[in-house]
Amino acid sequence: MSIRLPFIKKKQKETIQLMDSKNVPNHIAIIMDGNGRWAKKRSLPRIAGHKEGVDAVVKAVRAAHQFNVKILTLYAFSTENWKRPQKEIEFLMKLPKEFLHIHLPELMERNVRIQTIGEFNALPAHTKEAVQYAIDKTKNNDGLLLNFALNYGSRYEIVQAMKHIVSDINEAKLTLDAIDETVFSKYLYTNGLHDPDLLIRTSGEQRLSNFLLWQMAYTEFWFTDVLWPDFDEAVFKQAIEEYQQRQRRYGGI
């Protein structure tokens, strides 16, 4: 509840500007780590951290839109996450519907297109339905591509690609000689997307954790101790500006 104060001018909504609005990474991938740790610090259950993490997703999407990022890939659920307690998995699988119920109108306004990478069919039916609805609803938007990695594992993706290639060879749709890196890439979930320019991982861990192994061969990595629920526009700005510094130092000539 906000109280209206007459004669006091409402503070102008501030938007953070990048120092260099050109040379923004086109594709940013984020490992949203530290929700559990955020909750533990406050003696709250892990799911409270996930809930708070959703608000950080909203902040990240708004900032990506404002900074004119083309693709934002968020690691929301990994193939390894099935090992977590059943109750936590059930909670996580309800988040897409909850998120979309509140935020889909804003995503439409911002011309955001939603897509996923990962083994979509193995998700619970209610999760699939909510996400599929959003994918269909936003399919003609041509602004930011918001790409959720759901039930995603990079080694699994590569093995699936390999099986699919063998099957296409057996069916004479493909020849051994025709396989190269470009052809191989078409068998990955990321078919059609260009590789991430920048990877952000929160919460201090400096690992890839089975995320986009093939696709990140040339990606710049940026790590921060900030826990995912504390991620905001200012942290995002810092990541992009440090990326731009690296480009200036090592790029070109």
Binding residues for ligand V0D, rule: CB under 6 A, are: 32, 35, 50, 53-54, 57, 76-77, 92-93, 95-96, 99-100, 114, 131, 134, 148, 150, 228
The catalytically annotated residue of 33, 35, 151, 197 is 33
Nearer to ligand V0D, 117 or 198 (CB): 117
Cα 228 from chain centre: 12
Are the CB atoms for 110 and 65 separated by under 8 Å? Answer: yes
Nearer to ligand V0D, 40 or 164 (CB): 40
**Residue 243: CB minimum distance to ligand V0D, A:** 22
**Residue 99: CB minimum distance to ligand V0D, A:** 4
Nearest alpha-carbon partner for 76 in 153, 23, 1: 153
Q: Is 33 a catalytic residue?
A: yes
Q: Is 121 a catalytic residue?
A: no
- DSSP reduced 3-state for 177: helix
Nearer to ligand V0D, 20 or 129 (CB): 129
* CA dihedral sign, ordered 91, 231, 62, 44: positive
**Residue 239: CB minimum distance to ligand V0D, A:** 17
Q: How many CB atoms lie within 10 A of CB 216?
A: 18
* CA dihedral sign, ordered 87, 92, 93, 99: positive
**Residue 40: CB minimum distance to ligand V0D, A:** 15
How far is it, in rounded angstroms, from Cα 98 to Cα 100? 6
Strands (E) in the chain, as ranges, are 27-31, 71-78, 113-117, 145-152, 198-201, 220-223
How far is it, in rounded angstroms, from Cα 233 to Cα 24? 14
How far is it, in rounded angstroms, from Cα 111 to Cα 138? 8
Give the CB-nearest residue to ligand V0D: 53
Nearer to ligand V0D, 29 or 100 (CB): 100
**Residue 117: CB minimum distance to ligand V0D, A:** 11
The catalytically annotated residue of 81, 141, 230, 232 is 81
Nearer to ligand V0D, 112 or 165 (CB): 112
Q: Which residues are the active-site residues?
A: 33, 81
